Chain A
């Protein structure tokens, strides 16, 4: 961590850790549980040192029982605690899905509003470390499909530090996706951690020629692509969705109304994805503002292969984004 006036340079991992530390310090009801979060220091070293600082009651190592410990987190949340439950990666996220969908997302409704489930579930996810098909999933759309959940995607370092704190104030269950390929990435963020909202998308770069809408690992890729496009005179607006449910359509519809062209970028498989939904809403609500059809760059519909060149070809890369934008602009 280096200071630079009121800014600090920080890795994504350290930003996540600061978020968890803040949460544990601010509220005694908060505890972290997950596989290897304590003695091992977190599978990705995110919670390293927290066991020593906060003790085993608040940093709980749990057995490999994803359904069991996520369910236990739900029970604890129903009776006065504020659990942060780490599911090591989204790849194991199907095992607790019954708990998350049938219980966390549903109990408030089934009980006629009597119960609240203030649980925060964190999952590492993303593609790009040559981990092959079973460990390279982008299943954000599965969770974003479910009413009753708040689904967040941590695309920036500021959100890595700030989203958890706001999520813990939510009376409703929050699923937060963090991207393991970004853990070592350093960025500059404000030193003082201001609260971030978890209801709105964010325009990270303003532009007039087209809107690039993305989330997760797409955020920095799209910002880099936009910077390069600026050198050839294309002025792209970049929006980080941040909240995948409930979607903040106001922000991206306003952008479309301004730029009249849209590219949606995500790692998830193309069919029935976040970009499908974004595209549909744009068609439904601002169709007459469009100068061209909405374009999408998504994950290729294949189990992610192991070799680097095939893996890279499976998800949108910076150059794919640049090329897609140039094509869209030239097609005027």
Chain B
């Protein structure tokens, strides 16, 4: 059996699933549906999760590549008592949410950025999100949200 940790919980799966895409495993086997499938080819970023802390597009990652690794999905971002992560709150307060389908992926990508670069410039934030598509917002309030988070947590 192969081991994977998702949002702090350990799961096991047999070799028959090694080719299954991480996104489908998360959604179908673990029933964590917050991670979205927008394109299936790694082009839209709606399926972004953290694998050992780094943002990856889970629709193109087979389970064989995450054996023994730790995955965080959007369901693992808020505290166990339901308190929102400050970046989630910043998305709300900046009006960064419309249809919301890209939002989980955007938040995961934002966490990855802030981990690597706690004080990104507006331009760096813009560049960080270049692999995450949004059709509703023009990205402006998403970028605002990351800036608001930085201001609030300084």
Partners in one complex: no
Give residues in B with beta carbon < 8 Å to A: none
